[in-house]
């Protein structure tokens, strides 16, 4: 066994540890952070720790049964897809963590992995309360569009995760920006459209959305920007990141259009979905320091729904099963870095 893999007294100084390349000593020092954003995101993740039992799901089956057939289908298809996203992200993070050199950043990624597992647990709790857990988790076996979206997301994750170069690591980070910043958002919006009809699902999604948008997306946006700052990146790699976000937009809209064609619900149109995804994609490009490329519109109704639920005090906890969880009010402002 090579002990230098875990401890190297001749390794580089902690404040010299870059994200890509180098030889760390093996220490994690939260008092000496090279980037500042990494320890701040860690603290915010930690402060916002929550558990599925804090959401009242006792009446979820009754609420679900009262939905129309199309609403029930949207509910099930949404959670079938979102549950894959979190499960895939947890596995991807384990692989991405091995590419990183900076030990404090590795610690932040470890905490995110725990949160992704918590999200997977939350879907299990919610769907078990609904009485359709086995059906929903097996939908990918029967629905071609769902299986296709999952496969394309997985392929984008896998394409560059073997690393070997800083350009591949940057492209791999972009896959996570797409997951946190594109693939979740319509799903969140669908549940918010159902709103008070399914309060358990709505409140569970509130917790999950805040993790993704307040800490997970900022983490990988900062990873992307920092890798670019610390290294000479080939212009072809930047072109590739634009192709990757175009691919993500296409994947998201293809699945969204399929759901709308198959299970139309009140208040959602194809044009509304397109405007929403385009606006989100442009915002994600700005967050990683690139220029927007999609047609932009005024903030859409679906965006406003998602933003409305980023405040936390309105989440109702089950008094008999848990303590009230007070999700931290602050988030990471990417413009600070």
> Would residue 123 show up in a list of annotated catalytic residues for this protein?
yes
Which residues fall within 8 angstroms of residue 134, CB to CB, at 6 or more apart?
none
Q: Phi and psi dihedrals of 12, rounded to 5?
A: -70, 160
pLDDT band at residue 309 using 50, 70 and 90 as cut-offs: confident
Lookup: tokens for 94: 């384990």
pLDDT tens for residues 5-38?
Answer: 789 888 899 899 999 988 888 899 999 989 989 9
pLDDT in tens, 101-156: 999 999 999 999 999 999 999 999 999 999 999 999 999 999 999 999 999 999 99
d(CA 81, CA 136): 9
Helices 166-178 and 217-230, packing angle to 10 deg: 160
Tokens of 168: 């591949």
Q: Where are the alpha helices (DSSP H) in the chain?
A: 37-47, 60-65, 69-99, 103-130, 133-137, 144-158, 166-178, 185-194, 199-211, 217-230, 235-262, 270-287, 301-308
Domain 36-329 in this protein, CATH class: mainly alpha
Neighbours of 298 (CB within 10 A): 7
Of the residues 35, 42, 75, 123, only one is catalytic, namely: 123
Predicted pLDDT at 328: 53
Domain boundaries, the chain: 36-329
Nearest CA to 182 out of 271, 50, 306 is that of 306
């Amino acid at each position: 066994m090579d002990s230098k893999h875990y401890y190297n007294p001749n390794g580089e100084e902690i404040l010299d540890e870059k994200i890509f390349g180098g030889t760390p000593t093996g220490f994690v020092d939260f008092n000496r952070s090279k980037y500042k954003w990494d320890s701040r995101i860690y603290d915010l993740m930690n402060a916002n720790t929550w558990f599925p039992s804090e959401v009242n799901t006792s009446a979820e089956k009754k609420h679900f049964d009262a939905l129309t057939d199309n609403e029930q289908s949207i509910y099930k298809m949404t959670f079938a897809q979102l549950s894959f996203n979190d499960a895939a992200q947890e596995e991807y993070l384990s692989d991405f963590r091995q590419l990183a050199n900076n030990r404090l950043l590795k610690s932040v990624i470890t905490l995110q992995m725990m949160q992704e597992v918590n999200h997977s647990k939350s879907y299990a709790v919610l769907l078990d309360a609904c009485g359709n857990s086995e059906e929903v988790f097996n939908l990918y076996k029967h629905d071609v569009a769902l299986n296709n979206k999952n496969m394309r997301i997985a392929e984008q994750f896998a394409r560059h995760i073997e690393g070997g170069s800083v350009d591949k690591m940057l492209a791999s980070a972009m896959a996570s920006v797409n997951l946190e910043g594109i693939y979740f958002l319509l799903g969140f919006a669908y549940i918010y459209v159902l709103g008070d009809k399914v309060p358990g699902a709505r409140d569970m999604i509130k917790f999950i959305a805040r993790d993704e948008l307040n800490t997970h997306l900022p983490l990988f946006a900062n990873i992307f920007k920092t890798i670019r700052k610390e290294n000479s990146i080939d212009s072809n790699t930047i072109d590739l990141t634009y192709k990757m976000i175009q691919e993500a937009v296409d994947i998201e809209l293809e699945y969204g259009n399929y759901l709308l064609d198959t299970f139309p619900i009140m208040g959602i149109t194809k044009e509304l979905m397109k405007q929403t995804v385009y606006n989100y994609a442009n915002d994600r490009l700005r967050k990683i320091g690139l220029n927007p490329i999609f047609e932009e519109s005024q903030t859409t109704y679906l965006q406003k729904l998602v933003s409305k639920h980023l405040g936390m005090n309105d989440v109702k906890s089950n008094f008999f099963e848990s303590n009230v969880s007070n999700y931290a009010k602050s988030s990471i402002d990417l413009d600070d870095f």
